[in-house]
Amino acid sequence: MQDFAEAFRLAFQLVWQMDDELAAIIGLSLRVSLTAVAISALIGLPLGAALATMRFRGRGAVLVLVNALMGLPPVVVGLLVYMMLSNAGPLGFLQFLYTPTAMIIAQAILITPIVTALSRQVLEDLNSEYAEQFASLSVPWSARIQALVVDGRYGLLTVLLAGFGRAVAEVGAVIIVGGNIAHLTRVMTTAIALETSKGDLALALALGIVLLSIALAVNAAVMSLRLTAERTAHA
Amino acid sequence: MPDILSATAAGQQTDARAASSLLPLAVTGLAWSAGGQRLVDGIDLALGDGGVTVIMGPNGAGKSLLIRLLHGLLEPQAGQIAWNGQQAGEATRARQAMVFQKPVLLRRSVAANVDFVLRLKGRVDAAVRDGLLEKAGLLAKARQPARALSGGEQQRLAMVRALACQPEVLFLDEPTASLDPASTQAIEEMVRDARKDGVKILLVTHDMGQARRLAHDVVFIHRGRVAEHTPAADFFDTPASSPARDYLAGKIVL
C-alpha cells in the first residue's frame, strides 16, 4: 500500500517537473495522433459527406461496412500495417516500419472509419433538414456539400475530437508498427505498457495521469463546443 | 421593391419575362400516388399571368403535393405541367422560389442566409441584401444567428430569401400557419409588394381571412382533384362546388 502511495507521489512529481524524457514522449504522442486525425479528416469527411448526400446501389452495404470498421481492433490494424510495411511486404521499400510515420498510418487507418461514419450521421441529419429547401433553390452539389460542412462545423469538430481520443489512447497498433523504441517511437500508451511490465509504476502512472488529463480536456472541449453551438443557435 | 433591387436587376427581370414568361401555366391530367393512394388524382388547371392564386382545401387534399409538383420538386407520375409550354423541371424551378410552412434557415447569421442565395444567383451585393432586410424590418438583426429569431421573424427572413431569388413565380406553403396576427400581417404585406412587382403568387392557406384579403382566384382542391377554380369575388359568396360550400360554411370536409 505504501508503494502505491509512493508511486502516486513520484508520478505527480514527475508531471510537475516534466523532465525531457516525459515531455518527448508526450510530444510524440500528440504529434502522431494529431497528424493521424488530420489525415483521417481529409479522407473521412469527404467520404462521410458523399455517403450522407448520395444515393447509389449498395449504399446500405457500405454503411454497414463503415459502421463495422468503427470497431476495428487496434492490434489487427497494427498487424496489417506491419505486414504491409515490413521488408517482405509490398510497401517494405518505403522503410517506414518502426518510425512515427508507420504509427501515423496505423492510427489514421484506425480512426478514418470513425470519422467517416460519425460525420456521415451529422451531415445526413442536416441534409434531411435542408434537402427540400436546397432543391427549391437549385443548389449545386458542391455548394450543398460546402454548406452542410460549414453549418455542421460544431458537430464535425466533435467527431474529430472523438477520433483524436481514440487515437491517442490506443496502444495495440502503435506498439506493433512503432516498436516502442526509446526516443524514437515511444508514446504514452506504449511507455505505460513497458514501464508497468518493468515495475516502474511511477513513470507509468505519471503518463497515465497525463493521458487522463488529455481525455478530460478533450471531453471538456466537446462539451463547450456543444454549449457554444446551442448559445449561438447553431444546434 | 423596385428601389431595392437596383434598376438594372429589375430591368433584367422584365427583359427575361418579356422574352419568355413562365405563364400561362397549363396542367393536364396530373397524378401522383404514394402507398397505393392517388394523392393527386388527375388535376387540370390553367393559371394566367400575375395576381395571387390561393389554393384551399382540407388537410390531405393534395395542396402541398400540387405546389411541389408545379415547382418541380417532385416528378409527376402522369400528366403534364407546362409553364408557357416548358416542362416543369430544373430550368423552370430556377425562375421560381418557395417558402415552406416551417422556415428552413441555415445555421448562420441573418445576413449570411440572404448572401447564400444571392451568391447562388451570382449577384452578391451587400446593398441589395441590406435593402431587402430593411424592408422586412430585419436589418437591425442582420448579424444575429438566424435560428435565434422569433417564428415570425424567421418566416420573414425566409420570404426575404425567396424574394432575393427574384422569382417570377413564388410558392407559399401555409407560410403563416403558426404565426400571430402581427407576423401574419407582415408576411401578407410582403406578398402584396411582390405581387405589385409582377410576381405570380401561389399561396396554400387554411386561413379564410387571409384568402379573402389576398386572393384574386381560388383553386379548391378536394381528394386530389380540383373541385373548382373560381375568381375570388365569386368564390367566397357563391362557391360552385359542394365541398367548397361545406368548407366555407364551416362544416367538416373530409
Q: What is the pLDDT of residues A69-90, one digit of tens each?
A: 999 999 999 999 999 999 999 9
pLDDT, tens digit, 9 for 90 and up, residues B175-231: 999 899 999 999 999 999 999 999 999 999 999 999 999 999 999 999 999 999 999
Please tell me whether residue B99 adopts helix, strand or coil conformation: strand
Q: Cell numbers for A73, please give them.
A: 481492433
Domain CATH code at residue B37: 3.40.50.300
Position B238 in a domain: yes
The residue among A132, A133, A154 with the most chain B CBs within 10 A of its CB, best to mutate, is: A133
Tell whether B25 is covered by a domain: yes
pTM more than 0.80: yes
- Mean pLDDT computed over B149-160: 95
- Is A142 in the B-facing interface, judged by CB distances under 8 Å? no
Which residues in chain A are closer than 8 Å to B165, comparing Cβ atoms? 137
Between vectors from CA A125 to CA A123 and to CA A129, what angle results, nearest 5°?
110
Q: Average the pLDDT over each of A9-23, B22-36, B119-133, B200-214 and give the range with the smallest value.
A: A9-23
Residues 143-182 of A with CB under 8 A from B: 143, 147, 150-151
Residue found by looking up cell 457554444 in the block: A228
DSSP E strand boundaries for B5-151: 25-34, 37-47, 52-56, 78-83, 86-87, 96-99
Question: Phi-psi category of B46—alpha, beta or left, where left has phi over 0 and alpha has psi -120 to 50?
Answer: beta
Query: Scanning every residue of chain A, which has its alpha carbon at the shortest distance from the alpha carbon of B167?
Result: A137
Q: How far apart are CA A226 and CA A234, in angstroms?
A: 9
Report the SS3 class of residue B4.
Answer: coil
Which of B73, B116, B165 has its CB closest to that of A132?
A: B73
Under an 8 A CB cutoff, do B120 and A133 touch?
no
Cα dihedral A135/A141/A146/A150 (nearest 10): 30
Residues in A 101-130 with any Cβ partner in B closer than 8 A: 129-130
| C-alpha cell of residue A229 | 453551438
Say yes or no for a CB contact (<8 Å) between B93 and A136.
yes
For residues B220 and B57, the answer to whether their CB atoms sit within 8 Å is yes
φ/ψ of B225, rounded to 5, equals -130, 160
Distance, in Å, from the CA atom of B15 to the CA atom of B21, rounded to the nearest integer, reads 10
Instruction: Supply the ipTM of this predicted assembly.
Output: 0.86
Cell numbers at A103, concatenated: 504509427
Q: Residues 44-63, chain B: which have Cβ within 8 Å of A? A: none
Adjacency order of strands within the sheet including B52-56: B96-99, B169-173, B200-204, B52-56, B217-222, B225-231
Grid cell for residue B107? 445555421
Of A130, A143, A234, which has the smallest distance from its Cβ to B104's Cβ? A130
Cell of A122: 451529422
Whether residue B81 is contained in a domain is answered as yes
Of B73, B146, B148, Cβ closest to residue A136: B73
Q: What is the spatial distance between Cα A5 and Cα A19, in angstroms, rounded to a whole number?
A: 21
Cβ pair A133:B100 closer than 8 A: yes
User: Which structural domains are found in chain A, ordered by start?
Assistant: 2-231 (1.10.3720.10)
- Please state whether the peptide bond connecting residue B2 to the residue before it is cis, i.e. omega within 30 degrees of 0: no
Nearest CA in chain A to B149: A233
Residue with cell 409582377: B198
Inside any domain, residue B102: yes
pLDDT tens figures, B22-64: 989 999 999 999 988 899 999 999 999 879 999 999 998 999 9
Percent of chain B with pLDDT over 70: 93
Structurally, chain B folds into a number of domains equal to: 1
| CA dihedral over A147, A150, A151, A157, signed as positive or negative | positive
B109 touches chain A (CB under 8 A): no
Asked if B156 contacts B136 with a C-beta cutoff of 8 angstroms, the reply is yes
H/E element holding B46?
strand B37-47
pLDDT at A233: 62
Query: Which helix (H) or strand (E) covers residue B98, if one does?
Result: strand B96-99
Residue B253 lies in a domain: no
Rounded to the nearest angstrom, the minimum Cα separation between A151 and chain B is: 5
- β-pairing verdict for B25-34 and B37-47: antiparallel
CB contact under 8 A, B148 and A232: yes
Q: Cβ of B24 under 8 Å from any chain A Cβ?
A: no
Tell me if A136 and B90 make a contact (CB, 8 A cut-off).
no
Nearest CA to CA, how far is A137 from chain B (Å)? 7
Q: Does B84 have pLDDT greater than 80?
A: yes
A-chain residue closest to B103, CA distance: A133
B4 — pLDDT class (breaks 50, 70, 90): very low
Q: Does a structural domain hold residue B40?
A: yes
Q: Do the domain assignments include residue B1?
A: no
Which residue(s) pair with B219 in the sheet?
Answer: B55, B229
Q: What is the Cα–Cα distance from A113 to A92, expressed in whole angstroms?
A: 25
pLDDT of residue B19: 57
pLDDT of residue A201: 86
* Residue of chain A whose Cα is closest to the Cα of B95: A137
Q: Give me the residue from A135, A147, A232 closest to B106, CB to CB.
A: A147
Cell 429547401 sits on residue: A133
Q: Which of A21, A42, A40 is nearest to A167 (CA)?
A: A40
Q: Name the minimum distance, in Å, from the CA of B148 to any CA of chain A.
A: 6
Residue B254 belongs to a domain: no
Domain span at residue B53 reads 7-248
- Average pLDDT of the residues of chain B: 90
Q: Which residues of A touch B97 (CB under 8 A)?
A: 136-137
